[in-house]
Amino acid sequence: MDGSLSTRSGGRRASATATVRAHPATTTALTQEGPAQRVRIRLAQVQDAAAVAAAVRKLLLELSGDAPQPAALERAARSVLEDPTAGAVLLASDGEEIAGVLSASWQTAIHVPGRYALIQDLWVSPDHRGQAIGRQLLLALFDLAVEREIVRVEVGLPSERFAGLRATEAFYLANGFSLLGPRMRQMLL
Protein backbone atom coordinates (compact mmCIF):
# COMPACT_ATOMS: atom_id res chain seq x y z
CA MET A 1 0.00 0.00 0.00
CA ASP A 2 1.26 3.48 -0.59
CA GLY A 3 0.19 7.09 -0.10
CA SER A 4 -1.14 9.99 -2.03
CA LEU A 5 -2.60 13.39 -1.33
CA SER A 6 -3.66 14.19 2.20
CA THR A 7 -7.07 14.31 3.71
CA ARG A 8 -6.68 16.54 6.76
CA SER A 9 -7.12 20.25 7.20
CA GLY A 10 -8.96 22.82 9.17
CA GLY A 11 -12.34 24.31 8.53
CA ARG A 12 -15.34 22.78 6.83
CA ARG A 13 -14.58 19.55 5.03
CA ALA A 14 -16.48 17.41 2.63
CA SER A 15 -16.58 13.70 3.21
CA ALA A 16 -16.55 10.73 0.92
CA THR A 17 -17.29 7.08 1.49
CA ALA A 18 -16.44 3.84 -0.26
CA THR A 19 -17.91 0.41 0.22
CA VAL A 20 -15.15 -2.04 1.02
CA ARG A 21 -14.73 -4.98 -1.34
CA ALA A 22 -11.85 -7.36 -1.84
CA HIS A 23 -9.47 -6.11 -4.52
CA PRO A 24 -7.75 -8.86 -6.51
CA ALA A 25 -5.00 -6.44 -7.55
CA THR A 26 -3.55 -6.40 -4.04
CA THR A 27 -2.42 -9.07 -1.65
CA THR A 28 -3.60 -9.62 1.87
CA ALA A 29 -0.02 -10.01 3.06
CA LEU A 30 0.32 -6.21 3.43
CA THR A 31 3.80 -6.34 1.99
CA GLN A 32 3.79 -5.73 -1.71
CA GLU A 33 5.78 -4.13 -4.46
CA GLY A 34 4.35 -1.40 -6.62
CA PRO A 35 3.81 -2.50 -10.22
CA ALA A 36 5.78 0.20 -12.02
CA GLN A 37 8.32 1.11 -9.39
CA ARG A 38 10.30 -0.25 -6.47
CA VAL A 39 7.80 1.00 -3.92
CA ARG A 40 6.98 -1.41 -1.12
CA ILE A 41 3.86 -1.06 1.04
CA ARG A 42 3.70 -2.46 4.55
CA LEU A 43 2.08 -1.96 7.92
CA ALA A 44 4.07 0.54 9.94
CA GLN A 45 5.59 -0.63 13.22
CA VAL A 46 6.26 1.26 16.45
CA GLN A 47 9.87 1.83 15.35
CA ASP A 48 8.48 3.76 12.34
CA ALA A 49 6.84 6.42 14.56
CA ALA A 50 9.38 9.15 13.76
CA ALA A 51 9.13 8.54 9.99
CA VAL A 52 5.32 8.46 10.13
CA ALA A 53 5.28 11.70 12.15
CA ALA A 54 7.66 13.39 9.70
CA ALA A 55 5.48 12.41 6.73
CA VAL A 56 2.28 13.60 8.42
CA ARG A 57 4.00 16.86 9.34
CA LYS A 58 4.89 17.40 5.66
CA LEU A 59 1.26 16.72 4.79
CA LEU A 60 -0.07 19.22 7.31
CA LEU A 61 2.41 21.89 6.21
CA GLU A 62 1.36 21.33 2.60
CA LEU A 63 -2.31 21.60 3.48
CA SER A 64 -2.28 24.64 5.72
CA GLY A 65 1.27 25.83 6.35
CA ASP A 66 0.92 24.85 10.02
CA ALA A 67 1.61 21.66 11.96
CA PRO A 68 2.15 20.54 15.55
CA GLN A 69 5.70 20.14 16.79
CA PRO A 70 7.50 16.98 15.61
CA ALA A 71 7.69 15.51 19.13
CA ALA A 72 3.90 15.83 19.57
CA LEU A 73 3.26 14.16 16.20
CA GLU A 74 5.68 11.37 17.04
CA ARG A 75 3.90 10.71 20.36
CA ALA A 76 0.57 10.58 18.51
CA ALA A 77 1.99 8.23 15.86
CA ARG A 78 3.47 5.97 18.53
CA SER A 79 0.09 5.85 20.31
CA VAL A 80 -1.70 4.65 17.15
CA LEU A 81 1.07 2.20 16.26
CA GLU A 82 1.03 0.65 19.74
CA ASP A 83 -2.74 0.01 19.63
CA PRO A 84 -3.89 -2.05 16.61
CA THR A 85 -7.50 -1.69 17.78
CA ALA A 86 -7.22 2.07 17.16
CA GLY A 87 -6.44 1.75 13.47
CA ALA A 88 -3.60 1.12 11.07
CA VAL A 89 -0.75 3.02 9.46
CA LEU A 90 0.55 1.95 6.08
CA LEU A 91 3.92 3.01 4.73
CA ALA A 92 5.07 3.13 1.14
CA SER A 93 8.83 3.07 0.85
CA ASP A 94 11.29 3.32 -1.99
CA GLY A 95 14.34 1.74 -0.46
CA GLU A 96 15.01 3.68 2.74
CA GLU A 97 12.94 6.68 1.61
CA ILE A 98 9.31 7.13 2.70
CA ALA A 99 7.27 7.54 -0.49
CA GLY A 100 3.87 7.77 1.21
CA VAL A 101 1.82 7.16 4.31
CA LEU A 102 -1.81 6.35 5.02
CA SER A 103 -3.27 6.29 8.50
CA ALA A 104 -6.81 5.18 9.26
CA SER A 105 -8.74 4.80 12.48
CA TRP A 106 -11.32 2.11 13.12
CA GLN A 107 -14.71 3.59 14.06
CA THR A 108 -17.95 2.27 15.47
CA ALA A 109 -21.23 4.11 14.96
CA ILE A 110 -24.87 3.24 15.31
CA HIS A 111 -25.69 4.50 11.80
CA VAL A 112 -23.15 2.09 10.27
CA PRO A 113 -24.03 -1.54 10.94
CA GLY A 114 -20.54 -2.69 11.84
CA ARG A 115 -17.23 -0.92 12.06
CA TYR A 116 -15.86 1.46 9.46
CA ALA A 117 -12.49 3.00 8.70
CA LEU A 118 -11.83 6.73 8.66
CA ILE A 119 -8.78 7.82 6.69
CA GLN A 120 -6.97 10.33 8.86
CA ASP A 121 -3.90 11.05 6.75
CA LEU A 122 -2.90 10.22 3.19
CA TRP A 123 0.26 11.72 1.76
CA VAL A 124 2.65 10.90 -1.05
CA SER A 125 6.06 12.50 -1.37
CA PRO A 126 6.14 15.06 -4.21
CA ASP A 127 8.94 13.03 -5.85
CA HIS A 128 6.66 9.98 -5.98
CA ARG A 129 3.37 11.53 -7.08
CA GLY A 130 1.83 10.35 -10.33
CA GLN A 131 3.05 6.76 -9.76
CA ALA A 132 -0.24 5.35 -8.36
CA ILE A 133 1.19 5.13 -4.84
CA GLY A 134 -1.92 6.71 -3.34
CA ARG A 135 -4.08 4.17 -5.11
CA GLN A 136 -1.86 1.33 -3.89
CA LEU A 137 -2.16 2.61 -0.32
CA LEU A 138 -5.94 2.75 -0.65
CA LEU A 139 -6.13 -0.78 -2.08
CA ALA A 140 -3.97 -2.09 0.74
CA LEU A 141 -6.25 -0.35 3.26
CA PHE A 142 -9.31 -1.88 1.59
CA ASP A 143 -7.77 -5.36 1.82
CA LEU A 144 -6.85 -4.84 5.48
CA ALA A 145 -10.35 -3.55 6.20
CA VAL A 146 -11.98 -6.57 4.58
CA GLU A 147 -9.76 -8.87 6.67
CA ARG A 148 -10.99 -7.05 9.79
CA GLU A 149 -14.65 -7.14 8.69
CA ILE A 150 -14.83 -3.38 8.30
CA VAL A 151 -17.81 -2.49 6.11
CA ARG A 152 -16.79 0.87 4.64
CA VAL A 153 -14.10 3.52 4.44
CA GLU A 154 -14.69 7.26 4.82
CA VAL A 155 -12.44 10.25 4.33
CA GLY A 156 -12.78 13.96 5.05
CA LEU A 157 -11.56 16.21 2.26
CA PRO A 158 -9.34 19.24 2.91
CA SER A 159 -10.65 22.72 3.46
CA GLU A 160 -11.86 24.74 0.49
CA ARG A 161 -8.78 26.93 1.04
CA PHE A 162 -6.48 24.06 -0.01
CA ALA A 163 -5.32 24.68 -3.59
CA GLY A 164 -5.30 20.95 -4.37
CA LEU A 165 -8.86 20.28 -3.19
CA ARG A 166 -10.28 19.50 -6.65
CA ALA A 167 -7.43 17.10 -7.45
CA THR A 168 -7.84 15.40 -4.07
CA GLU A 169 -11.59 15.04 -4.60
CA ALA A 170 -11.02 13.66 -8.12
CA PHE A 171 -8.49 11.15 -6.73
CA TYR A 172 -10.97 9.74 -4.23
CA LEU A 173 -13.85 9.68 -6.74
CA ALA A 174 -11.62 7.82 -9.22
CA ASN A 175 -10.89 5.28 -6.49
CA GLY A 176 -14.51 4.37 -5.80
CA PHE A 177 -15.52 6.93 -3.17
CA SER A 178 -18.76 8.89 -3.40
CA LEU A 179 -19.56 12.25 -1.87
CA LEU A 180 -21.08 12.03 1.58
CA GLY A 181 -21.42 15.66 2.63
CA PRO A 182 -19.55 18.37 4.52
CA ARG A 183 -17.91 17.83 7.89
CA MET A 184 -17.50 20.33 10.67
CA ARG A 185 -15.37 20.48 13.82
CA GLN A 186 -15.14 22.25 17.15
CA MET A 187 -11.70 22.64 18.73
CA LEU A 188 -11.89 21.95 22.48
CA LEU A 189 -8.26 22.33 23.53
Q: What pLDDT, on a 0 to 100 scale, did the predictor assign at position 70?
A: 97
Q: How far, in Å, are 37, 130, 140 from residue 104 at the CA level? A: 24, 22, 12
pLDDT in tens, 52-96: 999 999 999 999 999 999 999 999 999 999 999 999 999 999 988
Tell me what pLDDT residue 96 has: 87
Q: Which one is predicted more confidently, 102 or 3?
A: 102
Q: What is the mean pLDDT of the chain?
A: 85
Closest CA to 155 of 119, 115, 111: 119
Q: Give yes or no for residue 10 having a pLDDT over 60.
A: no
What residue ranges do the domains of the chain occupy?
13-183
d(CA 140, CA 28): 8
DSSP 35: S
Quote the longest CA-to-CA distance of the chain.
44
For residues 40 and 34, give the distance between their C-alpha atoms in angstroms, rounded to a whole number.
6
pLDDT of residue 20: 52
Whole-model pTM? 0.82
Is residue 4 predicted with pLDDT exceeding 90? no
Looking at CATH, the fold of the domain delimited by 13-183 is given as: Aminopeptidase (3.40.630)
